Amino acid sequence: MAEVVIVPDAASAGRLVADEIVRLVRANPATVLGLATGSTPLPVYEALPARLAGLDVSRLRGFALDEYVGLDVSHPESYRSVIDREVVEPLGLDPARVRVPSGALDGIEHAGDDYEEAILAAGGIDLQILGIGTDGHIGFNEPGSSFASLTRVKTLTQQTREDNARFFDSVDDVPMHCITQGLGTILRARHLVLLAFGEGKAEAVAGAVEGPVTASLPGSAIQLHPHATVVVDEAAASRLRFADYYRHSYAHKPAWQGL
């Protein structure tokens, strides 16, 4: 099962995950990161620049999880724009080495296959950062997504469009379709790090970590992964049945294991 780390707040989670990324980059400057958007991973991205200062990041690569379909890349809420603003620019990465699936309508039918090829050509993803939607989605894999799915176009649920309406003028402006790494793509990454903060995520986190493995809660796919880490604050951990065991186990974790 996933290792659950309960931290006091989002900033602590950001530091913990940023430290692990730095450990990877020190060991291998050509590390491949899987990048999530949304508000959850921001503390990680905020903690990274100071920690990476002085390290060679010129060979670092990144692959975003997902993108809206039909939203111009220059739109401030396209995930290309978000990744550039939150990750590429602050870390001084080469934008050409940080890929986001193409949501352009022209060529959308082969954009998923192209993205899969690019991930394989880069040698796969070393550490995949994940958030989780209130309906349990990871990436944009809505309930019902196949555990074998690869990068493809999906239709967003109304719940997800409402959740994401805060980034747009109205819910009607949130695109109907997205292109997302599949659950099968995500499961190929060598280490999954799922973050969640706040009471609103507690049910989805409990389902993903302790519920049945089911396509009805796509985040539960992490239970199939040999190295999955879930980093949550107390509120997001509030519905975890075995929270005491997770605290105990993390307190006695051998230092050599890393995150």
- Tell me which of 142, 163, 191, 233 is the catalytic residue: 142
**Minimal distance, residue 191 CB to ligand GLP, in Å:** 17
**Minimal distance, residue 65 CB to ligand GLP, in Å:** 5
Smallest CA-to-CA distance from 46 within 78, 9, 72, 79 is with 9
How far is residue 172's CA from residue 49's CA, in Å, rounded to a whole number? 35
- Tell me which of 67, 116, 126, 135 is the catalytic residue: 135
Contact 237, 9 (CB under 8 A): no
How far is residue 1's CA from residue 48's CA, in Å, rounded to a whole number? 28
- Tell me which of 20, 66, 86, 126 is the catalytic residue: 66
**Minimal distance, residue 240 CB to ligand GLP, in Å:** 18
Q: In what side-by-side order are the strands of the sheet with 152-155?
A: 66-68, 177-180, 152-155
**Minimal distance, residue 200 CB to ligand GLP, in Å:** 8
Residue type, 133: G
* Annotated catalytic residue 137: yes
* β-bridge partners, 35: 64
Q: Specify the residue, 45 or 140, whose C-beta has the smaller distance to ligand GLP.
A: 140
The residue with its CB nearest to ligand GLP is 131
Contact 224, 209 (CB under 8 A): no
Q: Specify the residue, 172 or 255, whose C-beta has the smaller distance to ligand GLP.
A: 172
Q: Specify the residue, 139 or 188, whose C-beta has the smaller distance to ligand GLP.
A: 139
Contact 80, 52 (CB under 8 A): no
Binding site for ligand GLP (CB under 6 A): 36-40, 65-66, 131-133, 139-140, 160, 164
Q: Specify the residue, 59 or 184, whose C-beta has the smaller distance to ligand GLP.
A: 184
* Annotated catalytic residue 142: yes
Catalytic residues: 66, 135, 137, 142
